[in-house]
Structure 1
Amino acid sequence: MEKQDIIEQIKSLKTQKNAVILAHYYTDPDIQDLADYIGDSLGLARQAAETTADIIVFCGVHFMAETAAITSPEKKVLIPAQACGCSLAESITAADIRKWKDANPDGLVVSYVNTTAEVKAETDYCCTSSNAIKVIEHLGKDQKIFFTPDKNLGAYLNKETGSNMELWDGDCCVHEFISSKLVLDMHQQYPEADILIHPESSCSSDDAILNHPSTFFYATSGIIKHAKESNKKQFIIATEKGTLHQLQKENPDKEFILVDPKVICSSMKKVTLKGLYEALLYEQYRVVIDPEISKKARLSISRMLEIG
């Protein structure tokens, strides 16, 4: 089928099956343009929990689809590509969490949403980059906390909240590439630009970057909000390339410069129109989670959504 034929078939199947398409900002533009809702991890988790659709087709990596299956256990959650992993989610296991909890019975585990269902089931509080500061401040500076799995986000949170959380040594292979040198070298080329940085980046706890007058740290939704509300006309974007599509779509009169062309999540790009069509047609690649794990994981996710 031609591209437009696939798009029309997807729209038709979505209506027939009372399905909703949720897509992350890092997916390809064609997927974003077809989605009923585009968002970052927090926004997508909320939409999955609130939808009245019978089927959720989750265009993102596997842990995101798992989160949707946990928050909406009565829904059929499909993922259009099976091999959509995440280096961050795969860096830690439930056994790693249990080992820390056994050694620290008075401590709490805060897990970034970029984790497996099994890890979430061992977690006290989940968070996303959108609400991580609120979650840590909610728990207080004196609380012993193990933050997992992103060391860069954790170091950023320690700086921003004054906490002293113990950090797991994990990272997003895409954002780990975004160094202080890369950001500062790019700003030399575009000195009038605001620099919008995702806190998963390896530069996120560097004082030279944190105190730079042109840098702003946000989750993806915050990057998009800043660009829309700013009077500036030029922005350096230090996050995954897919974000540029919505930025340019919503701000056609502004210029967005990707900090480096190599900042691409190959897993997100595995979600294709053909895969989306086949997922809906055959209702394939359903995300199924053990009910006991799902029940335990739901508590940490619910706490995340409540703190917001």
Structure 2
Amino acid sequence: MDLEYKKREIMKDKEEIIKNINKLKEEKNAIILAHNYQPKDIQKIADFLGDSLELCIKAKETDADIIVFCGVDFMAETAKILNPDKKVLMPEIEGTQCPMAHQLPPDIIKEYREKYPDAPLVVYVNTTAETKALADITCTSANADKVVNSLDAETVLFGPDNNLAYYVQKRTDKKIIPIPIGGGCYVHKKFTLEDLKRVKEKYPNAIVLIHPECNPELQDNADYIASTSGMLRIIINSNEKEFIIGTEVGMIDRIELELEKIGEKKVLIPLREDAICNEMKKITLQKIEKSLLEEIYEIKLDKDIIKRAKVAIERMLNIKG
């Protein structure tokens, strides 16, 4: 088969799938929420695209009957916690479990609670619903320091990302106890100082943006440490033209989409080309279509877990400023 013909057929199929997705969304009063690390095709069709905090807020505000969540397991669970009466679907259930979200199980929390009985527990939203239900409050990479500083305590338990704990410790007078030891994101842990030196040699004038899930030596050598939404704002509002992006490579697609909307072009350099979250890339247009059509795979959580986890999430969302 001619290669160009094959490409045209693929494009035709894609357009048909997108058309069907939009039809199903209208018929079923559904909304598609997608994380910034999702594949570009998914980003383009999402009703709302954002980081963990933005998606939490959008999930709480939506009046849709069905939420199709394109991300990893803890994100869809969070949407369900905030919308217990709505149907929350994930287009793919196999292989979409965030490894970091499962690093802080109840037994570890119990151990540290006994050791530090007066210390509140702050958990990253990148955790399971069960873990959120045991927390005093949740946080995201965009508001972790603000959440910790809002607490009336001198010592704070913080998990599971040790690098985010390091980031917070530099921005608070409180004592941060990271739990568990070694917790973190395998994608962001890939980045090294050698990577930064190598890329910076090639692009000496580029602004360095590093995610707070990255190792301390990367944070200490960044021009900016920012969540994905923070990175986007910095680039959109900057007069600089070159940026080194120290997070999952899907973020570059997101930034490019936003730059296209305002007619700007900037040079976006991945700190590592292989900084890929495999779990985030499991979702496809075909799977979204099937999920909407058959209303699979639905997120179901214990009512008591939902009730307790919702308190921790809403405490975060209610922090002003």
TM-score (normalizing by structure 2)? 0.91
| 1:172 CA displacement | 0.5
| 1:209 CA displacement | 4.6
Aligned to 2:129: 117
Tell me how far apart the structure 1 counterparts of residues 13 and 304 of structure 2 sit (CA, whole Å). 43
Aligned to 1:183: 196
Aligned to 1:10: 21
Segments of structure 2 that go 5 or more residues without pairing to the other structure are: 1-11
Tell me the alpha carbon deviations over residues 103-134 of structure 1, each in whole angstroms, 9 at most, x when there is no partner. 32211100000000000000001000011110
Counterpart pick for 1:29 among 40, 61, 71: 40
Tell me how far apart the structure 1 counterparts of residues 85 and 285 of structure 2 sit (CA, whole Å). 26
Counterpart pick for 1:135 among 147, 150, 155: 147
Aligned to 2:171: 160
Tell me if structure 2 keeps the 8 A contact 1:108–1:143.
no
Q: 1:283 to 1:306 in 2, by over 3 A?
A: same
Tell me how far apart the structure 2 counterparts of residues 285 and 249 of structure 1 sit (CA, whole Å). 29
TM-score (normalizing by structure 1)? 0.95
Tell me the alpha carbon deviations over residues 7-63 of structure 1, each in whole angstroms, 9 at most, x when there is no partner. 100000000000000000000011010000000000000000110000000000000
Q: 1:286 to 1:238 in 2, by over 3 A?
A: same
Aligned to 1:266: 278
Tell me how far apart the structure 2 counterparts of residues 278 and 209 of structure 1 sit (CA, whole Å). 41
Tell me if structure 2 keeps the 8 A contact 1:157–1:163.
no
Aligned to 2:118: 106
Identity over aligned pairs, percent: 42
Bigger-Rg structure (1/2): 2
Aligned to 2:223: 215
Tell me if structure 1 keeps the 8 A contact 2:212–2:219.
no
| 1:180 CA displacement | 2.3
Tell me how far apart the structure 1 counterparts of residues 125 and 189 of structure 2 sit (CA, whole Å). 17
Tell me the alpha carbon deviations over residues 139-173 of structure 1, each in whole angstroms, 9 at most, x when there is no partner. 25x52211000001101111122432111221101
Pair 1:235 & 2:243 matched: yes
Tell me if structure 2 keeps the 8 A contact 1:171–1:200.
yes
| 1:282 CA displacement | 0.4
| 1:96 CA displacement | 1.4
Tell me how far apart the structure 1 counterparts of residues 144 and 198 of structure 2 sit (CA, whole Å). 29
2:86 maps to amino acid: K
Tell me how far apart the structure 1 counterparts of residues 311 and 193 of structure 2 sit (CA, whole Å). 37
Secondary structure in 2 matching 1:147: strand
Aligned to 1:46: 57
